[in-house]
Amino acid sequence: MKTDHFIAVNIAVLTVSDTRTEETDTSGQLLAGRLGEAGHHLAEKAIVIDDVYQVRAIVSRWIADASVDVVLITGGTGVTWRDITPEATRPLLDKEIDGFGELFRAISCQDIKTSTIQSRAFAGIANGTLIFAMPGSTNACRTAWDGILKYQLDSRNPPCNFIELIPRLRKN
């Protein structure tokens, strides 16, 4: 759905980290700020430890809430033993959006070179809710938002964008 006018959506932000607090969560703060600057609404913001079931519980609640259109997850997408975001979230997905992770790593390669291979950034759709998971660094969140999400979450972006997939905005 390409339109001539902007359509604001409701976006929840989840930071997955054993160490971040509301005061030190610069990645979650960046995403909340960027989505607000773009004209979207912050539906909710939360911080959760790297625990499969706690992450899954919050994401499940948000995808069951018809007022949440998009979930942005920062953190837990690396390859260390504590990084569990893909394992927690992928079982909830109805479809994966492979291109998000591929494009994120391609853009990141310009800045961090081959270290981007350690990113397991991914996206998908669950119960009509778009989910985007990215690394926990503030720079990675800036890369994901500025390089991909601000365009794909803008109804004016041709030839297509993710707004057309949001159930409450679909014209059947």
Look at residue 170 and tell me if it is in a domain: no
Within a domain: 81: yes
Count of residues in the chain: 172
Query: Does residue 78 sit within a domain?
Result: yes
166 part of a folded domain: no
Confidence of residue 171 (pLDDT cuts 50, 70, 90): low
Residue 55: both structure tokens together = 């992450």
**CATH, residue 82:** 3.40.980.10
CA nearest to 41, candidates 64, 65, 13: 13
84 lies in some domain = yes
Q: Is the pTM of this model over 0.75?
A: yes
> Is residue 130 in some structural domain?
yes
165 occurs within a structural domain: no
User: Domain total for the chain?
Assistant: 1
Per-residue pLDDT of 64-82, as tens digits, reads: 999 999 999 999 999 999 9
- Write out the residue range of the structural domain in which residue 81 sits: 10-156
Q: How confident is the model at residue 143 (pLDDT cuts 50, 70, 90)?
A: very high
Cα angle 168-149-72, degrees, rounded to a multiple of 5: 70
